[in-house]
Amino acid sequence: MDNSRIFQSSNIGDQDAENLLTLRLSTGSSLPPLWSSSSPEPTPTSFTLEEQIIQIPLPPPSLDLIFQPMVPFLQVSPFPIYPYLEAHIATGLNPNANAVSREMVSHSPPSRARRNPSQVTTETIPRPFPWSTTQRATVHRLDYLLSHDITIISGEVQCKKCDKVYRIEYDLREKFGEISDFIKENKFSLHDRAPPEWMSPNLPSCESCGSPVKPVGTKKKSINWLFLLLGKMLGCCKLSELKYFCKHTKNHKTGAKDRVLYLTYMGLCKQLDPTGSFDI
């Protein structure tokens, strides 16, 4: 019962307070205050305004916190393992604390086999032909060959049909004169590219069956460069063989085959006649 009275007295509305103030001012009488100083203090069971604040209940705990998904945690290795790298582990006071098999974490690069000194490429080789020098992919000058009575250049060919192998000879002065005249007349129209007749040469016919023949294949250091030049058969060489020539003659070796083939023709002609119009 006491609690209901206190609740009613403590919940006087704003409208009642205004009516009481208006009555006091109109009558001029002094009405007793709502709470007199002589009135007894509220009992300990009374509630203050601060204590009457409604407490909002907290929401129940989320189910996500109660039922956590059963997802296994990723176990991160204590040290990264990268190829060709070696993990360095700080052991601290106990050398066996972080003992890990070095076979699992040590990835040293594979050792490169040392080349035999006899297999190292050298610029000088034994002369493969009388018209060749000891330098790779290099022939003697024309005046040197003529002065040493080297006027016939020969080489081996093989028939594509009957596989017969025999030798063909070319006159040095005559054949080189034909190639030299062709270059002088068409150099500017070639645009640093080999013409079709160099790319697809007109091969000689077999003396037995009449089928086209091809130069006999050999190692790069033993290629008969002067014979191929005079027979206009440099186009039968592989691109790697033409690049080999340009590499050892200090020429630009990259590009399409018609470009590298053009450099090979000009390079060989320059070796024969350094004063000719064979500049690249």
Answer yes or no: is 203 within a domain.
Answer: yes
Examine residue 46 and state whether it is found in any structural domain, yes or no: no
In a domain, 118, yes or no: no
| Structural contact between residues 263 and 252, judged by C-beta atoms closer than 8 angstroms | yes
Residue 182 pLDDT class (50, 70, 90 cuts): very high
Half-sphere exposure of 219 (CA within 13 A, CB side): 5
- Within a domain: 78: no
Would residue 102 count as lying in a domain? no
Residue 3: is its pLDDT beyond 60?
no
User: For 62-76, what is the mean pLDDT?
Assistant: 51
The residues with which 158 forms a beta bridge, in sequence order, are: 165, 214
Picking from 236, 276, 278, the residue whose alpha carbon sits closest to that of residue 257 is: 236
Question: 206 and 162 in contact (C-beta within 8 Å)?
Answer: yes
Q: Could you give phi then psi for residue 209, rounded to 5 degrees?
A: -115, -10
For residue 109, is pLDDT > 50? yes
User: What integer pLDDT is reported at residue 280 of this predicted model?
Assistant: 76
Residue 171's pLDDT is: 96
Distance, CA of 1 to CA of 10 (rounded, Å): 14
Contact 66, 23 (CB under 8 A): no
Three-state DSSP class for residue 142: helix
**Is the pLDDT at 213 greater than 80, yes or no?**
yes
- Structural domain that includes position 138: 129-272
Phi, then psi, of 272 in degrees rounded to 5: -70, -40
Q: 3-state class of 203 per DSSP?
A: coil
Once rounded to an integer, what is the mean pLDDT over residues 86-93? 47
Pairwise CA distance, residues 235 & 70, whole Å: 71
- Mean pLDDT rounded to a whole number for the chain: 75
The answer to whether residue 38 scores a pLDDT higher than 50 is no
Q: How far apart are CA 182 and CA 206, in angstroms?
A: 26
| β-strand pairing of 213-215 with 152-159 | antiparallel
Look up residue 36 and give its two tokens. Answer: 């007199």
pLDDT of residue 28: 52
Which helix (H) or strand (E) covers residue 229, if one does? helix 225-230
Mean predicted confidence (pLDDT) in 121-150: 92
The residues, any chain, with a CB within 8 Å of residue 156's CB and separated by 6 or more, are 165, 166, 167, 168, 215, 216, 224
Q: What is the pLDDT of residue 62?
A: 54
Residue 111 maps to a domain? no
What are the pLDDT digits (tens) for 93-105?
455 544 444 544 4
* Number of domains into which the chain is organized: 1
Q: Which of 170, 172, 156, 167 is nearest to 236 (CA)?
A: 156
CA dist 220 → 213, 224, 239, 248, 255 (Å) = 20, 9, 12, 11, 19
pTM of the model: 0.58
8-state DSSP, 156 = E
Whether 225 contacts 245, CB under 8 Å:
yes
- Residue 57 belongs to some domain of the structure: no
- Across residues 138-167, what is the average pLDDT? 95
Domain assignment present for 82: no
Separation of alpha carbons 153 and 175, rounded Å: 10
Return the pLDDT at 21: 57
